[in-house]
Amino acid sequence: MISRRDFLQVSMAASAMVGASGFGNWSRLAAKQSLTQDDLLQFDTYGNVSLIHITDIHAQLKPIYFREPEINLGVGDAFGHVPHVTGADFRKLYGIADGSPSAYALTYNDFTAMAQTYGRVGGMDRVSTVINSIRADRPDALLLDGGDTWHGSYTCHHTQGQDVVNVMNALKPDAMTFHWEFTLGSDRVNEIVEGLPFAALGQNIFDAEWDEPAELFKPYKFFERGGVNIAVIGQAFPYMPIANPRWMFPEYSFGIRDENMQAMVDEVRGMGAELVVVLSHNGFDVDKKMAGKVSGIDVILSGHTHDALPEPVLVGDTIIVASGSNGKFISRVDLDVRDGKMMGFQTKLIPIFSDVIAPDPVITKLIDEQRAPYINELTEVIGQTDSLLYRRGNFNGTWDDLICQALIEEREADISMSPGVRWGPSILPGQDITREDIWNVTSMSYGEAYRTEMTGEFIKVILEDVGDNLFNVDPYYQQGGDMVRIGGMGYSIDVFKPQGSRISDMTLLKTGESIDPAKTYQVAGWASVNEGTEGPMIWDVVEDHIRRKGTVHVEPHENVKVTGA
Amino acid sequence: MDFTRRETLALGAGAAVMAVLPFQVQAAADDAIAEFTGGADVAMGGVELTAPEIAENGNTVPVSVSAPGATAIVIYATGNPTPGVATFNFGPLAASQTASTRIRLAGTQEVVAIAKMADGSFAKASSTVKVTIGGCGG
C-alpha cells in the first residue's frame, strides 16, 4: 500500500526534477532552434499503465495561437493556489525561465513577441504524432477525451460536429465525456453517440423526467491494460442546463451528484477495479473539492476550466491532471499499479508546438478533407488587426472588447454583453482576420445577437448573478466560465464580497453618468440561453464591423476595476 | 441573455422581492419548524437530504430525503412564502424511511429537512440550492 509519505516524496521530486514530471528539460531552452520534437516527447516509460489526456479542443483541428490568462482569481480555499496563479508568479512557482518555450506556452507575458519566435500551437495532426509516439512506447495506452470537442469552429457548426468526429475517431480514443456537445441538440448528440466507436461516459448524465441514469451514456467502462483492471468513470459538465440552453436538450439532467460518484467508485472497486480514473468536465476547483469528498479515486483528468498545469495537484491520495485547451497540450500520465494500488506516477504536460512537432500526414489529409468544401468561406480575409486579439481571463479580453464594440455600433446600443466563455484562439498584431478566425471566437448553435431594454437595476442583477457563478467561495456553486464581458459600461467588482454586494460604480461610458437603477438602457448581446431569441448571428455582426473598419485596433480595456484581490 | 418582457419583469421582481423578503420568510420557516417540533431541540445529522447545488429549473427541483428510524420527515423551503412543502409519514411497516419529490423554489435559499424519530427526538439536514439566471458557460 502506498503511504501518504511516499506520495509526498513523489510529488516533491516532481516539483524539483525533470525526471518525475518530465517538466523542465525543455523549459530552459532559449530559442526554437534548439527545441526538438525529441525534447518534447522525451519520457522514460514508467510503471505499467499510460493514460493520454486531451480536453476542451473546441474543434480546433489546425494550429492556432492561444494566450493564457493574465487574470485568474481564486476565492475561498482556492485563493493563491493553482490554477489561480498567472504570469511571473506562475513561472516562479514552476521554475520557468522568462522567454523560454514554457513561458510562452503557459503564461501570457510578451505573448506577441514570443508567438513570433515559437509559432503556433496545436493541430490535431501534431497531436496524432504525439499520441503515436506514446503508443510506440506503450501500445495499450488509454486515450481519454475530456469533452468540449464537437464545438467551436466554422466547419464544426456547418457539419453539426461531423468534421471533428471524423478526425477524433481517426485518433482512436477509448472514452469521452461531454459539455458543449449537447448544444448541438439532443437529437444530434444521440445520433453521434450511438455511432461512436468508443465509450461515451457520464455518471451524472440523467434522464430529466425520471431522474434516473440516462440509458445512452454509461457511468463507467472497464479496460484491462498492462494486466491492470482499470475503471474509467465519466463526469460530464454539471451545469449544462444552466450555463447553456436547457431547451436544446430537455431530456437530460446533470448536476455534480457526488453521492452517485461515490456509489460508482464503490461499485467498480467491488467489481475488482485496481485503478479508478475519473474523466471529468467539472472544472478544476470542483474536481479539487470532489476529490476531497469522494474516496477511492486515483486519478482525475480535469477539463472545462482550460487550465494547463505542468504537474498534477494532490488531494489526499488522488492526483488531478489539468491539460489545457484548444489542442494546445496533451498530458501523458504513467502509473505504477501493483496489488490493486497506485504506487506512483510520472506525468508530462506536452505542449503541441506546431512548428516543432511533425504533423501526421494521414491526419493532415483527413483534416483538409473536412475543410475542403468550405475552404473559400474559411479563408476569406475580412480585415486586419494591428493589436493582439485574445480572450482568456476573468474579465474582458481584447477579442471580447471588439465583439462588444461591434454590438454597440452595429446594433445601436448603449451597453453590450458578451458571454464569459474560455474558448477562442488569439490573433497577433499585423495578422489578417479571416472568417474562420471570427467563427473561432463566436461559433455556437445559439449565436443570435439580441437587442433589448434593461433597467439599470436589472443589469446589476445580471452582473451579480454571473459574478457569483465565478466567485462563490464554494466551488460547487461555480459554473466555470469567466465574468460576462461588458461594453459601453464600466464598473467595480470586489470578488470577495457575497452576491448582491460585489458590483459598484456602474457607469455609462458614453456620458460618464452613473447607471440609474430605474432608467431603461438599450442592451445588445448574444448567446442567450432563452428559447426564441431573435436577431442577426453574432459572427455576421462582427464580420460587418471588421469589414467596415478595415483594420481594427483594440487596446486592453480599463472599464472594469477589480478590488479586493 | 435575452428575456421576454414578462421574464424580465418576473426576474426583476424576483430580485427585488429577494432583497426585501428574507426576514419575513425566514420567520415563517422558523415558525413552521417550531410548529412541527413543538420547540424541541433539533440535532444536525441523522437525516440525509439530497438536492442539487444549483437548480436546473427553479420551478421543479428534485430533492430526496432519507432518515432511518423516522416516523415523519418534513421538507421546508425556507425562502418560499409558504415554507412547508412536503410531509412524509412512515408507518411501522414502511420498508425504508426514504422519499423523493420535486419542489418549487422562489429563489436561492436553504432547503431544510426535519425528521421526527420513533423516540420523539428530531434530526435536521439542510442544503443551499441556488437559483440563477445562468448563461455564459466555459
**B135–A468: do the CB atoms touch at under 8 Å?**
no
Question: What is the total residue count of chain A?
Answer: 565
Look at residue B135 in the predicted model and tell me its pLDDT.
Answer: 60
Residue B125 inside a domain? The answer is yes
Q: How is A320-375 classified by DSSP, letter by letter?
A: EEEB-STTSEEEEEEEEEETTEEEEEEEEEEE-BTTTSPP-HHHHHHHHHHHGGGH
Residue B76 inside a domain? The answer is yes
Q: Would you place residue A7 in the very low, low, confident or very high pLDDT band (cuts 50, 70, 90)?
A: very low
Q: Which three cell numbers stand for residue A167?
A: 478526425
Taking CB atoms and an 8 Å cutoff, what residues of chain B touch A239?
A: 54, 134, 137
Q: Which domains does chain A have, with CATH numbers?
A: 4-368 (3.60.21.10), 380-563 (3.90.780.10)
> In terms of Cα–Cα distance, which of A485, A487, A489 is closest to A511?
A489
Owner of C-alpha cell 440552453: A245
Residue B134 inside a domain? The answer is no
Give the closest-approach CA distance of A16 to chain B in angstroms: 32
What is the per-residue pLDDT across A332-351, written as a single tens digit (0 to 9) for each?
Answer: 999 999 988 999 999 999 99
Spatial contact of A122 and A326, defined as CB atoms under 8 Å apart:
yes
Q: Worst-scoring range by mean pLDDT, A11-25, A27-41, A284-298, B90-104?
A: A11-25
Q: Which three cell numbers stand for residue A37?
A: 520534437
Q: Distances from the Cα of A189 to the Cαs of A150, A460, A529, in angstroms?
A: 10, 36, 18
Q: Worst-scoring range by mean pLDDT, A376-390, A497-511, B123-137?
A: B123-137
Q: Three-state DSSP class for A413?
A: coil
**A484–B57: do the CB atoms touch at under 8 Å?**
no
Q: Would you place residue A558 in the very low, low, confident or very high pLDDT band (cuts 50, 70, 90)?
A: confident
> In terms of Cα–Cα distance, which of B107, B135, B52 is closest to A240?
B135
Give the closest-approach CA distance of B93 to chain A in angstroms: 26
Burial class of residue A98, CB neighbours in 10 A (0-12, 13-18, 19+)? exposed
Taking CB atoms and an 8 Å cutoff, what residues of chain A touch B129?
A: none
**What is the percent of chain A where pLDDT is above 90?**
90
Q: Which three cell numbers stand for residue A161?
A: 460536429
Taking CB atoms and an 8 Å cutoff, what residues of chain B touch A466?
A: 133, 135-136
Domain range enclosing B108: 5-129
Rounded Cα distance, A482 and A468, in Å: 11
Q: Worst-scoring range by mean pLDDT, A60-64, A129-133, A150-154, A481-485?
A: A481-485
CB pairs under 8 A between A and B: 127
Q: How is A184-241 classified by DSSP, letter by letter?
A: G-HHHHHHHHHT-SSEEB-TT-EETTTTEE-SSSBSEEEEEETTEEEEEEEE--TTHH
Owner of C-alpha cell 410531509: B87
- Pinpoint the alpha helices (H) of A230-360: 240-243, 258-270, 284-293
| CATH number for the domain that contains residue B102 | 2.60.40.2470
Residue B138 inside a domain? The answer is no
Taking CB atoms and an 8 Å cutoff, what residues of chain B touch A254?
A: 56
Torsion of CA A406, A412, A414, A417, to 10 degrees: -40
Over 70: is that where the pLDDT of A202 sits? yes
ipTM entry: 0.84
**pLDDT averaged over every residue in chain A:** 93
Over 60: is that where the pLDDT of B5 sits? no
In this structure, what DSSP letter does residue A49 have? E
Q: Would you place residue A72 in the very low, low, confident or very high pLDDT band (cuts 50, 70, 90)?
A: very high
Q: How many domains are there within chain B?
A: 1
Among chain A residues, CA nearest to B62: A211
Give the closest-approach CA distance of A28 to chain B in angstroms: 32
Look at residue B26 in the predicted model and tell me its pLDDT.
Answer: 76
Whole-structure pTM over 0.90, yes or no? yes
Residue B136 inside a domain? The answer is no
**B136–A462: do the CB atoms touch at under 8 Å?**
no
Residue B101 inside a domain? The answer is yes
Among chain A residues, CA nearest to B58: A242
Q: How is A155-179 classified by DSSP, letter by letter?
A: HHHHTTTHHHHHHHHHH--SEE--S
Owner of C-alpha cell 483527413: A366
Rounded Cα distance, A39 and A36, in Å: 5
Q: Is some CB atom of chain A closer than 8 A to the CB atom of B8? A: yes
Sheet of A551-552: strand order equals: A432-434, A381-385, A551-552
Residue B96 inside a domain? The answer is yes
Q: Would you place residue A434 in the very low, low, confident or very high pLDDT band (cuts 50, 70, 90)?
A: very high
Spatial contact of A152 and A440, defined as CB atoms under 8 Å apart:
yes
Over 60: is that where the pLDDT of B52 sits? yes
Residue B137 inside a domain? The answer is no
Rounded Cα distance, A471 and A72, in Å: 11
For residue A83, whether the previous peptide bond is cis, meaning omega lies within 30 degrees of 0, is: yes
Q: Which of B2, B8, B133 to mutate to test the interface with A (most CBs of A within 10 A)?
A: B2
